Chain A
Amino acid sequence: MTNTELVSLSTRGVLTPEELRTLPGVPSDERMKRGPVAYIECADIFPCNPCESACPKGAIRIGEDITNLPVLDEDKCDGCGTCVAACPGLAIFILDMTYSETEAVVRIPYELLPVPEKDQEVSCLNREGKIVTQGRIVKTVKPKAYRKTVVVWIAVPKDLALDVRSIRV
Chain B
Amino acid sequence: MRILEHPILGDQPSRKKVTIDYEGKKIEAYEGEPIAAALSASGVMVFRRTKKFGEPRGISCAIGQCTDCIMKVNGIPNTRTCVTRVEAGMTVEEQR
| Residue in B closest to A112 when the chains form the complex, CB atoms | B7
Which residue of B5, B6, B8 has the most chain A CB atoms within 10 A of its CB atom?
Answer: B8
Within residues 21 to 58 of chain B, which ones have a CB less than 8 A from any CB in chain A? none
Q: Chain B at the A interface: mostly helix, strand, loop or mixed?
A: loop
Q: Chain A at the B interface: mostly helix, strand, loop or mixed?
A: loop
CB of A145 closer than 8 Å to a CB of B: no
Complex Cα spacing A113 to B7, Å: 6
Complex Cα spacing A163 to B8, Å: 27
Q: Which residues of A contact B5 (CB under 8 A)?
A: 113
Complex Cα spacing A130 to B74, Å: 52
Which residue of B5, B6, B7, B8 has the most chain A CB atoms within 10 A of its CB atom?
Answer: B7
Complex Cα spacing A24 to B5, Å: 38
Count residues of A near B (Cβ-Cβ below 8 Å). 6
| Residue in B closest to A147 when the chains form the complex, CB atoms | B8
Complex Cα spacing A148 to B9, Å: 9
CB of A111 closer than 8 Å to a CB of B: yes
Looking at the assembled complex, report how far the CB atom of B10 sits from the nearest CB atom of chain A, in whole angstroms: 9
Q: Mark A129-169, 1 if CB is under 8 A from B, else 0.
A: 00000000000000000001010000000000000000000
Q: Mark A86-127, 1 if CB is under 8 A from B, else 0.
A: 000000000000000000000000011101000000000000
Complex Cα spacing A150 to B6, Å: 13
| Residue in A closest to B10 when the chains form the complex, CB atoms | A148
Complex Cα spacing A112 to B6, Å: 8
Complex Cα spacing A112 to B8, Å: 8
Q: Which residues of A contact B7 (CB under 8 A)?
A: 111-113, 115, 148, 150
| Residue in B closest to A113 when the chains form the complex, CB atoms | B7
Complex Cα spacing A168 to B7, Å: 15
Complex Cα spacing A111 to B6, Å: 9
Q: Which residues of B contact A150 (CB under 8 A)?
A: 7
Looking at the assembled complex, report how far the CB atom of A169 sits from the nearest CB atom of chain B, in whole angstroms: 12
Pull 5 A–B residue pairs with CB atoms less than 8 Å apart, ordered by A: A111-B7, A112-B7, A113-B5, A113-B6, A148-B7
The 8 closest A-B pairs by CB, nearest first: A113-B7, A111-B7, A148-B8, A112-B7, A113-B5, A111-B8, A148-B7, A113-B6
